[in-house]
Amino acid sequence: MANGIIRIQKYQKNALQGVENHHKRKTKISTTNHDINYDLSGQNQSLIKPSAGSFLKSCEERIEKAGVKKVRSNSVVACEALVTASPDFFKEKDTKIMNAYFKRSLWFLQDFYGKENIISADVHLDESTPHMHVVFTPITVDNRLSARDLISKSQLQKLQDEFYRDVTYDFGLERGERGSKRKHLDTIDYKKQTIKKLSNKVSEKRKREEEISSEISEKARWIENADYDIAKKKLEIGEINLRIDDLKIKTENNLNMFGQLKKENEELSNEIAVKKKLLQILMY
């Protein structure tokens, strides 16, 4: 759903020439706005021209007419209402409706801030979204120059309420400022959602970490087991080696014993031979 948008700005004397240059396309190269398509500038509509030529002169003229004596150099001498709508509104609507929207908005502003205070009005169609700049002097009904009074917080609230009631509602637009408050809420919701998403991500990461650490401890256990197996095997090998050594010793002992027995046997055989010879001698 598209929103109707109205925004107010304040200007001191020294800012007015720059504002006028933008509104009236007085300088071709804008240092502040690079979105201007000068080929379309011919379509811009100048609805109200400053009566005394320049914005500043027209403001000063109006201030003088109101009988304001003292104007400080830093006083707000002009305000600007910027009227537009969400880009969707302009995409769907034809030129007639768009023109009617800006005209109704201008009537509304003349009524709200005083027709005699309106200095200038321009519809710009050569930037990204169609919009209208309306410049007015902030002179109160009792002829004081007071931006503080005319665009106080409560007055701005009233402006938004009445702009919606008298203008944007008829064009099927939603309330801009409340929209922007909602936008603010949306932002909070969005932030909440983002935080939720982030905390989900964090808990996902934690879960993954836990998984990884359990994988690691499983691997560690596996390695431990493997180490244990290796140690066990080493022990077994050691035992086998011991047994081999034992057998070697036994074999050696046996060999020794065999040698001894052989010797003894030889000795006995010799003895027997001697005894046999003796016996032969004795028998003859």
The contact set with Mn ion (CB under 5 A) reads: 124
Token pair for 174: 């939603």
Tell the smallest beta-carbon distance from residue 122 to Mn ion (Å). Answer: 7
For residues 117 and 242, give the distance between their C-alpha atoms in angstroms, rounded to a whole number. Answer: 115
Radius of gyration of the chain (CA): 53
Residue 4 or 114: the one with the smaller Cβ distance to Mn ion is 4
For residues 229 and 235, give the distance between their C-alpha atoms in angstroms, rounded to a whole number. Answer: 10
Tell the smallest beta-carbon distance from residue 34 to Mn ion (Å). Answer: 12
Question: Which residue lies nearest Mn ion, judged by its C-beta?
Answer: 124
Residue 84 or 145: the one with the smaller Cβ distance to Mn ion is 84
For residues 224 and 123, give the distance between their C-alpha atoms in angstroms, rounded to a whole number. Answer: 81
CB atoms within 10 A of CB 130: 24
Residue 62 or 124: the one with the smaller Cβ distance to Mn ion is 124
Tell the smallest beta-carbon distance from residue 210 to Mn ion (Å). Answer: 57
Are 213 and 41 in contact, with CB atoms under 8 Å apart? no
Residue 135 or 159: the one with the smaller Cβ distance to Mn ion is 135
Phi, psi at residue 164, to the nearest 5°? -70, -45
Residue 36 or 159: the one with the smaller Cβ distance to Mn ion is 36
| 153 exposure class (CB count in 10 Å sphere: 0-12, 13-18, 19+) | exposed
Tell the smallest beta-carbon distance from residue 33 to Mn ion (Å). Answer: 7
Tell the smallest beta-carbon distance from residue 124 to Mn ion (Å). Answer: 4
Tokens 């050691």 belong to residue: 238
Token pair for 39: 């080929």
Token pair for 5: 């948008």
Residue 19 or 63: the one with the smaller Cβ distance to Mn ion is 19
Tell the smallest beta-carbon distance from residue 127 to Mn ion (Å). Answer: 5
Tell the smallest beta-carbon distance from residue 207 to Mn ion (Å). Answer: 53
Sequential DSSP letters for 40-69: GGGG-EEEE--TTSSHHHHHHHHHHHTT--
Residue 93 or 124: the one with the smaller Cβ distance to Mn ion is 124
Token pair for 254: 């046996």
Positive or negative, the Cα torsion across 131, 133, 139, 145? positive
